[in-house]
Amino acid sequence: MDRTAGENLVTYELRGAVAVIGLNRPEKRNAISDRVVEALARAVERASAEARAGVIMGTGPHFCAGLDLGEHVEKPLIDAIAGSRRWHRVFDMIERGTIPFVSALQGAVVGGGFELAASTHIRVADASAFFGMPEGQRGIFVGGGGSVRIARLIGAARMGDMMLTGRTVTAEKMEAWGGINYVTPEGQSLEKAIELAEATAGNAQMSNYAILNALPRIQDMSSEDGLFMESIMSALTSVTPEAEERLRAFLEKRAKKVMAPRDV
Ligand code: 1HE
């Protein structure tokens, strides 16, 4: 059965400070249709208003099979362009919004599914996850920001290889390539993603805002402009009452120290 109007294509749950958003179309491997994009947009907007961090997950054994190919067989050119631009706006709300998002990945992370994950700030995959970009085989191109975001994460050469040859990549290799940040045992990516989201939710809001919005822009600037922007953001964050309190808390030994890593 496919889901249509009125059904829960995207789930939403507020767990403390963290909003957990779930692609919920497992019978179609969470393929992203136009309706899914709109449901995702509403969930991201709600999370940004009431949570301090978000997690994006997929229901069932696969994170997401990418673009709903069924909707694209007969799409007029102008609708295809508008559709891609809408993906860009929604994924931009995730990437350059006000709260950090962590994605929890398992099974297929394919095409537009990988593009969605690439718009989140931290990617956690379990050992079952595999990454594919079958656009070449399908006769299409990426349209959800992948040529910018995925190419910057893993490099255009690796992305081009995946798109040209249809090669799929394990979680372990994708971590080595820089496409994801954490690999967990099978079935544990959601738990880890929530733990990480909770950690980010505890940060100063202005620091998170600067990390989400200044850092990627600085990457697009010349070194000179980047350094200038860095100083402005650094000064802006440090004069907030929240920063003052956090700096005092450390000096008065009320704050946690930086710990050595526990993993080897
Ligand atoms: C779909 C889609 C989809 C599955 N659009 N319906 N994406 C792809 O090229 C990936 C295509 N999907 C697959 O390769 C496989 O489905 C999976 C590896 C993800 C999962 O395999 P499996 O064996 O668990 O499931 P399945 O039996 O292949 O699929 C179950 C159902 O989901 C089936 O429908 P049914 O009516 O026969 O039950 C599939 O047709 C359906 N399904 N994936 C529509 N993607 C903004 S541009 C982005 C560009 C891209 O994303 S390109 C990548 C497209």
Identify the H or E element spanning 18: strand 18-23
Q: Does 115 qualify as catalytic in the annotation?
A: yes
What is the CA(138)–ligand 1 centre distance, in A?
11
DSSP string, 38-63: HHHHHHHHHHHHH-SEEEEEESSS-S
**Cα–Cα distance for residue pair 164/149, rounded to 1 Å:** 18
CB within 8 Å of 64: residues ≥ 6 apart? 23, 29, 30, 31, 32, 58, 108, 109, 110, 112, 113, 116, 117
Cβ–ligand 1 contact at 146 (below 6 Å): no
The residue ranges of the chain whose pLDDT is under 70 are 1-6, 264
pLDDT score of 1: 44
Cβ–ligand 1 contact at 211 (below 6 Å): no
Sign, CA dihedral 151-172-175-203, equals positive
Burial classification of residue 3, based on how many CB atoms lie within 10 Å of its CB (0-12 exposed, 13-18 middle, 19 or more buried): middle
Amino acid at 22: G
pLDDT score of 74: 86
What is the CA(142)–ligand 1 centre distance, in A?
16
Cβ–ligand 1 contact at 126 (below 6 Å): no
What is the CA(64)–ligand 1 centre distance, in A?
8
Indicate the top mutation candidate among 23, 27, 29, 35 to test ligand 1's pocket, ranked by most ligand atoms within 8 A of CB: 29
pLDDT score of 6: 52
Cβ–ligand 1 contact at 83 (below 6 Å): no
Residue 67: strand pairing partners:
32
**Cα–Cα distance for residue pair 151/115, rounded to 1 Å:** 10
pTM beyond 0.75, yes or no: yes
